[in-house]
Amino acid sequence: MAVKKYGELKASDWRTPVTVYLLEGEEPVLQREFLAQLRQALQVPPGSIDESVLDARETPVATLGAAIQTIPMESARRLVILHAVNRYSAADLQSLASIVERVPPFACLVLLPSPTEESESVKAAWNALMKAVEKSGMVIKLTALTGATLTRRLVERAQEAGKRLRPEDAEYLQTLVDSAADRALAELEKVILFVEPHSEISRLDIDMVVAPSQQAQVFKLVDAVVARDARAAMRQLRLMFQSGTRAEETAMKTLALIARQYRLLWGVRTLLQYQQPIKQPQRIDPEFARKLPKDPDVLQTLTRQAFLQDRLQKQAEQLSLAQLCQAFHAIEEADLALKGLRPSVNAAEIMERLIIRLTTDGEPARPSHLQGG
């Protein structure tokens, strides 16, 4: 029948649901919304005896076929939801493609893939399944809620609750939860309750309610480091050691995130040096892009987490390539010490020494346009 984006679905699409849907994409917020609307359209409440929720890793295709053929008891149609459909073998996917074409009118089958890498044989079978769904039902594409799209969603949700959330504060909330839409929306619900009876949501309110992820804490730590503010950086580091986790585990995780952040900054600093458009990553020269770090993927980060562009650029502008090289050397030394390959006292002291080195090594920070390579 069709391939549609979730946002393109109209009221007419819900009036007469098709017999089979395949949801393509990894956005849990939209997936839950789709299922809620479909249940409402079918008048099948969650947990109804006319709903079957299955997992391909535990459900043979024959069992799925039997569930689809079971006549509903209380509703006009039976809803069968299959998670991790792409975990089936190529042969099972081919059998499923055949079943998809014979879903009875009293049933509605929803296929939900899970993130995984497929072999070439599975890819071919998957394509055959997609074509079968397009022929008999509908493929729904779920675009990840990130960047400006997620910002709008947060602002709109606040408005629905009678609150005012500025776009820049919605972006700030995203940075605290690593741009995970489901967590951002869940945290916003807590903030909405916290500010009652007031109508304004401030950044202070967000800080009071939302516990920042470890990556968000590392962002604050690196902000202080590149600003050469050793005291603020040390305060942030000590906060991270108060999480209740073993000091050694906290140190290893924090060091890994600091290393990741500096690799991102290396990539952004290189883009700045060669005058590549950071704010328009899709326009970066493909040949140049191939030379950028892939762990983490700089272009992917700039594209999927567009709200980080300004912050990464500001940090990168304060560091020369020479300073970044010194930072990588200091991070390597800290890594060896944490692994017991260099003399040290304890994990906390190793990390404190690293912060001191990062805030004091190299020449004072200058604007990037005054720096050489």
Residues 86 and 84: their CA atoms lie apart, in Å, by 5
User: What's the pLDDT at 89?
Assistant: 93
CATH dotted code for 214-370 = 1.20.272.10
Q: What share of the chain is helix, strand, coil (3-state, %, to 5)?
A: 60, 10, 30
Distant-in-sequence, close-in-space partners of 170: CB < 8 Å, separation ≥ 6: 150, 151, 154, 155, 158
Could you please report the per-residue DSSP string of 211-255?
Answer: PPPHHHHHHHHHHHHHTT-HHHHHHHHHHHTTSSS-HHHHHHHHH
Contact 318, 352 (CB under 8 A): no
Phi, psi values for residue 52, rounded to 5°: -120, 125
User: What's the pLDDT at 304?
Assistant: 80
Ranges of CATH 1.20.272.10 domains, the chain: 214-370
User: What's the pLDDT at 179?
Assistant: 87
User: What's the pLDDT at 367?
Assistant: 41
Contact 56, 99 (CB under 8 A): no
Q: What is the residue type of 125?
A: A
Instruction: Name the CATH architecture for the domain at 2-141.
Output: 3-Layer(aba) Sandwich (3.40)
148-160 b/e (C-beta count within 10 Å ≥ 16 → b)? eebbebbbebbee
- Predicted TM-score of the model (pTM): 0.72
pLDDT tens for the chain, residues 1 to 373 = 588 999 899 999 999 999 999 999 878 999 999 999 999 999 999 889 999 999 999 999 999 999 999 999 999 999 999 999 999 999 999 999 999 999 999 999 999 998 776 667 788 899 999 999 999 999 999 998 988 899 999 999 999 999 999 999 999 999 899 889 999 999 999 999 999 999 999 999 999 999 999 889 988 999 899 888 999 999 999 998 887 789 999 999 999 999 999 999 999 999 999 999 999 999 999 888 888 888 899 998 998 888 788 889 999 999 999 999 999 999 999 999 999 998 888 999 999 999 999 998 654 444 434 343 3
Q: Which CATH class is domain 147-209?
A: mainly alpha
User: What's the pLDDT at 34?
Assistant: 96
Angle at 289 between CA 312 and CA 180, to 5 degrees: 45
Q: How distant, in Å, are the alpha carbons of 84, 88, 135, 176 from that of 101?
A: 20, 18, 8, 45
User: What's the pLDDT at 363?
Assistant: 47
- As a whole number of angstroms, the longest Cα–Cα distance in the chain is 75
Residues 48 and 70: their CA atoms lie apart, in Å, by 14
N- to C-terminal Cα distance for the chain? 56
Six-digit token pair at 92?
A: 């099972």
Ranges of CATH 1.10.8.60 domains, the chain: 147-209
Number of H helices, E strands in the chain: 17, 8
Residues 237 and 218: their CA atoms lie apart, in Å, by 8
